[in-house]
Amino acid sequence: MLTLDTLDITDETAYAARGGYPYDEFDLLRREAPVFWYRRPGFEPFWVLTRHEDIAFVSRNPKIFSSAQRVTLDTPEAVDMFEIQLEQRGQMFGHGPELPPALSYMDSPRHRHLRQVMAPCFTPKAIHELEERFHELARGFVAEFTDRLDADGTADVARLLSARLPVAAICELVGAPRKDWDDIYEWTEGTTGAADPENWREGEDAEATFNRSMTALNGYVAALVQERMALIEGDGADVLSRLARARIDGEPLAFHEILYTIFNLLVAGIGTTRNATSGGVQALLAHPEQLRLLAEDPSLVDGAVEEVLRWTSIAVNFVRTAKQDTEIGGQRIRKGETVAMWYPAGNRDGDVFADPYRFDITRDATAQIAFGGHGEHVCLGSHLARLELRAVLRALLPLLPSLEPVTEPEFGVLHLQAAEIKRLVVRRKEQ
C-alpha cells in the first residue's frame, strides 16, 4: 500500500520500470503532505514541493531561496564526480572550486547581469526573426526522417529526428560552425547520458565516458571561446560574441566564465527540447483524437506546444537553499534547509489544470511550469524551445497521422534532473 512512509520518488530505476513519472506518489503528496520532509537512503533530507503555488512561491523569491549552494538532487557518487570535475576545471583555468559552474548556480546580481548579456538573443522578437529559418530546417529534417522511414520500414524519432533542430538551433545561436554540430551532439550526450551503456566506447564505464565527453567538450568550447575573444572588436550577434564583448561593472568576463556559460547552454539547449519533442510525438500518437484535431486545424499548434510542455515536463526538479527561516504551506522551513520543486507534480495540479491527466491541446496550458516555474531563473531559452517545437510539429503534421509506435517508448531520468525518451520507434500504419 502506498503511504507517505513507503513512497519513493528518488529511485531512477523505478522511473524507467514504470515508463514515466510516479504520479500516484505526487498525487498522494499533494493531497496529504504538499510540503513533505523527505528522508531516504542515498540523499540528504530535503523538503518536497508538489503544489503549483508552492513551486511558484519559491521560484519568485530568490532573496529567500538561493541557487548558489546547489540546484540538483544527487547521490553521493554523483556529487563526488561533479566535485572532481569542478576541481579539475579550477586547476585547468586557475580559479577556486567555489566559482559557480553555471548560470543556474548563481544568485543576483551576478546572475542578473550575466543573463542580461545573453538576453537579446532569446527575446520573443529575436526568436520571431528565426521563425522562417527554423521552419525550413524542420521541413528538411522531417524529409530526411521520412526517407529513412520508407527505406528501413521503421525509424526512431528520438535518435533520428528530435535532436536535429535543437542541435542546429543552439549551435547557431552560440556561434558554433556547422561542421562541428555532430561532434557537439555526441559530446553532450556522453556528458548527460554517461550512465547509458549505449554511449560507452569499448572498455569504458560511466565514469570513463563522462570524463572523455567532458574533456572533449571542454576543449572544444575553450578553443571556440579563445577564437571569439580574439575578435573582441567584432560585431557578431551570437551569444558567444556578446559574452566576449561584455562588461559587467566595467570588467570583461573571465575566460572560464564564458567557457562554462557556453558549455552549459549547449548541454541544456539540446537535451531538454529533444526530449520534449519526442514526448510530444508520443503523446499525439497515443491520443489520436487530439492528433486529428491538430491535423485538421494547424492553428492549434501554439496551444498544443503549451500542452506538450505541461504533459511531458522534461525538467524533473530543481532545488533551492533557504537563506532564512520561512514558511511554505504551513510548514516551517529553516535557514540552510533544501527545498526541491517537482515540476511534473506541479503540472498535474488539479487546482490549476482541470482534469490534469487528460491530454488536451485545446486547453489553456500557459500556466505550465516546464521551464522551471517563474522568477529570474526561468529558462533563458523558453521562447527558443517553443519555436523549435512549433516548427517540428508543423513539419510533421502531414506525416504523423500515418504513423504508429512499434514498441513502448524507453523512458528514463538523468540524475533526477531531466526526463529522457531514449527510443520512440515508429512505422507507417498498414493501409
Alpha carbon of residue 291 to chain centroid: 25
CA distance 421 to 185: 16
Query: Hey, what's the torsion of the CAs at 71, 77, 81, 83, to 10 degrees?
Result: 60
Q: What is the structure's pLDDT at 2?
A: 94
**Secondary structure (3-state) at 339:** strand
* Eight-class DSSP state of 103: G
**Secondary structure (3-state) at 156:** strand
Q: What is the structure's pLDDT at 173?
A: 93
Amino acid present at 261: T
Amino acid present at 333: I
Q: Which residue has the higher pLDDT, 23 or 232?
A: 23
Alpha carbon of residue 163 to chain centroid: 13
pLDDT per residue over 350-372, tens digit each?
Answer: 999 999 999 999 999 999 999 98
Q: How large a percentage of the chain has pLDDT more than 90?
A: 72
Instruction: Yes or no: say if 266 and 221 are a contact pair by the CB < 8 Å rule.
Output: yes
Give the residue-averaged pLDDT of 3-29: 95
H or E segment to which residue 410 belongs: strand 410-414
Q: What is the structure's pLDDT at 97?
A: 66
Place of cell 554540430: 181
Q: What is the structure's pLDDT at 292?
A: 97
Q: Has residue 125 got a pLDDT over 70? A: yes
Alpha carbon of residue 393 to chain centroid: 19
Give the residue-averaged pLDDT of 77-97: 74
Phi, psi angle pair for 140, to nearest 5°: -65, -40
Q: What is the structure's pLDDT at 315?
A: 95
19 Rama sector, left if φ>0, alpha if ψ -120 to 50, beta otherwise: left
Q: What is the structure's pLDDT at 80?
A: 75
H or E segment to which residue 421 belongs: strand 418-423
Q: Has residue 108 got a pLDDT over 80? A: yes
Strand order through the sheet with 317-322 = 35-38, 46-49, 338-342, 317-322, 65-66
* Eight-class DSSP state of 225: H
Instruction: Yes or no: say if 295 and 400 are a contact pair by the CB < 8 Å rule.
Output: yes
Q: What is the structure's pLDDT at 232?
A: 64
Closest CA to 31 of 50, 17, 15: 50
Place of cell 560552425: 177
pLDDT per residue over 238-261, tens digit each?
Answer: 999 999 999 999 999 988 889 889
β-strands 410-414, 418-423: how paired?
antiparallel
Domains in the chain: ranges and CATH: 12-428 (1.10.630.10)
Q: What is the structure's pLDDT at 328?
A: 98
Q: Is the pTM of this model over 0.85?
A: yes
**Secondary structure (3-state) at 419:** strand
Amino acid present at 355: D
Place of cell 558567444: 240
Q: Which of 44-48, 101-105, 299-303, 401-405 has the lowest mean pLDDT?
A: 101-105
Grid coordinates of 59: 521560484
The beta-strand segments (E) located in 30-145 are: 35-38, 46-49, 65-66
Q: What is the structure's pLDDT at 303?
A: 97
Grid coordinates of 31: 493531497
Alpha carbon of residue 96 to chain centroid: 28
Give the residue-averaged pLDDT of 399-407: 96
Q: Which of 99-103, 115-119, 209-213 has the lowest mean pLDDT?
A: 99-103
Confidence of residue 58 (pLDDT cuts 50, 70, 90): very high
Q: Has residue 72 got a pLDDT over 90? A: no
Q: What is the structure's pLDDT at 120?
A: 95
Grid coordinates of 378: 526561468
Q: Which residue has the higher pLDDT, 20 or 231?
A: 20
The reply to whether omega before 109 is within 30° of 0 (cis) is yes
Give the residue-averaged pLDDT of 320-345: 97
H or E segment to which residue 251 belongs: strand 251-252
